Structure 1
Amino acid sequence: MIQNIIFDFGGVFINLDTEAVPRGLRRYGMTDPGADLVSLSAGYEKGEMDSKTFLSGVKQAIPGSKEQEIREIWNATIADFPRRRLDFLIKLKNAGRYRMFLLSNTNALHIEQVRETMGKDVFDRFRGCFDAFYLSHEIGMRKPDPEIFSFVLENHGLQPENTLFIDDTEEHIEGAKRLGINTWHLAVHKESILELNKHLY
């Protein structure tokens, strides 16, 4: 029986424009971010550098770019937050049947943009629905590495067989499965977190 639910954030609760960065890079003639930018982004998500260092690194990788332009391109990934998802989450929390956790690969710039997009009151209400709110850049780990799932399980005494992990990225789902955690690979644009009851037992 599921007693604990670990939720992803982007794509599950807040909508993302996954083409925003590739679209922005094409303005500089780049059709592929390249290994250096991918590595830089991963390091930023693990909190290995601050935003200033990250933006400086991106500027070096994209000749002719300006910091403000990079910020705008980077943060354009964050789209809208449908209010019905917050209402659903609050109702689920108030039912008191599950321990609820958030586990997100993100970074300081995106979280700033999330707060602006959602608004402080809505963001605070959203965050308050979870027993713990884990952001990769704050804890120095990121999905799909096994250590991040072990960290959540051990930190809260969770049993994998009683835990459901929800994410829209298959690689992350596979990482959780390796620890015996139940999973729901949410198909964005085809499924909604509002259909959660179909995956609880």
Structure 2
Amino acid sequence: MTIKAVIFDIGGVCVGSPMAGIHRYEEQHGLPRNYINVAIVQQGEHGAFQKLERGEVKLVEFYRDFGLQLSHPSNKEHYKAYLAKSGKVVPTSIPDVSVDGKELFTTMMSETARLDPDIFLAIQKLKESGKFVLAALTNNFDLPEDDLKEAEAMGASAGIELRKLFDFFIESRLIGLRKPDPKIYQYACKTIGIQPQEAIFLDDIGINLRSAHKLGMNTIQVKMGGSKEAVKQLEALTGLDLHSKIASKI
């Protein structure tokens, strides 16, 4: 089937990855690698992070609940199970963990203030070609309206720059759905006016890609630090040169 649309995740694809911020926070506070991510995932769809991305809670409430949930002792056992499943050494005990929800989230989102140059150029080239509908499909949240400095630190400017290039900008916070729920991909395809098989979807998170692939979408994983390889895969699917710089127009 002919490809008609290219759909991009934002955080970790078009801009820096919040996961890099998580790792930085863990290093700064002496926490085990991936402890926080395991704890976030373990909260399920009722976790503070998940609720924030569906637009169900405001930041102030989120900061409090986020910190409390990630500091809960039950996360230690989940982390041990993760290590065992990964074939890694499981410690007999893990010290108590205390997470400042606001500090962690600010550290995570500071990574998204940086546009990825390879992906950004690829989007510009796709736009220039006029051959594809371009869309963003992002799990996001309401930026602070009363603190411009805080909003800027969370990537506000990068988001504004990207919005100019997309024909559709689909946000979890506005529609009450978040990836990897299959309904959000169905919503995106209906909004764009395509079938899943007519789309290429780029994301950095495996579970999001697997859910999209099950519906028939063509998927590309953008691994941390691997945007150049992702662009090569996108070139193969679109038949376009997406890495040569755009000539200046005089």
Scaled to the shorter chain, the TM-score interval is 0.7 to 0.9
Q: Count matched residues.
A: 196
Kept in 1: contact 2:113–2:156 (CA 8 A): no
| AA of the residue aligned to 1:72 | T
Match of 1:148 among 184, 205, 210: 184
Aligned partners of 1:197, 1:55: CA distance in 2, in Å? 40
TM-score of the pair, normalised by structure 2: 0.66
Considering only CA atoms, is the larger Rg found in Structure 1 or Structure 2? 2
Q: 1:72 to 1:99 in 2, by over 3 A?
A: closer
Q: Name the counterpart of 2:168.
A: 132
TM-score of the pair, normalised by structure 1: 0.80
Q: 1:150 to 1:60 in 2, by over 3 A?
A: same
Structure 2 residue 52 is matched with structure 1 residue 44: yes
Aligned partners of 1:37, 1:22: CA distance in 2, in Å? 21
Per the TM alignment, residue 25 of structure 1 is displaced from its structure 2 partner at its CA by: 5.1
Per the TM alignment, residue 17 of structure 1 is displaced from its structure 2 partner at its CA by: 5.0
Question: Superposed, which structure 2 residues align to 1:47-62 within 5 Å?
Answer: 47-61=55-69, 62=71
Q: 1:184 to 1:50 in 2, by over 3 A?
A: same
Aligned partners of 2:30, 2:222: CA distance in 1, in Å? 33
Aligned partners of 1:178, 1:37: CA distance in 2, in Å? 21
Kept in 1: contact 2:67–2:102 (CA 8 A): no
Match of 1:174 among 210, 221, 230: 210
Question: Superposed, which structure 2 residues align to 1:1-201 within 5 Å?
Answer: 1-16=2-17, 18-24=19-25, 31=32, 32-33=35-36, 34=39, 35-36=42-43, 39-61=47-69, 62=71, 69-78=103-112, 80-83=114-117, 85-109=119-143, 112=151, 113-116=154-157, 118=158, 123-192=159-228, 193-195=230-232, 196-200=234-238
Aligned partners of 2:193, 2:58: CA distance in 1, in Å? 32
Kept in 1: contact 2:13–2:119 (CA 8 A): no
The superposition leaves residues 8-56 of structure 1 with CA deviations (integer Å, 9 ceiling, x where unpaired) of 1122211225242254256667543334498221111111111111012
Classify the secondary structure of the residue corresponding to 1:89. helix
Cα RMSD (Å) of the superposition?
Answer: 3.0
Of 142-151 and 84-93, the range deviating more from structure 2: 84-93
Where structure 1 has 5 or more consecutive residues not aligned to the other structure, the ranges are none
Where structure 2 has 5 or more consecutive residues not aligned to the other structure, the ranges are 72-96, 145-149, 240-250
Q: 1:144 to 1:198 in 2, by over 3 A?
A: same
Kept in 2: contact 1:17–1:79 (CA 8 A): no
| AA of the residue aligned to 1:127 | R
Identity of aligned residues (%): 24
Kept in 1: contact 2:201–2:219 (CA 8 A): yes
Aligned partners of 1:197, 1:180: CA distance in 2, in Å? 19
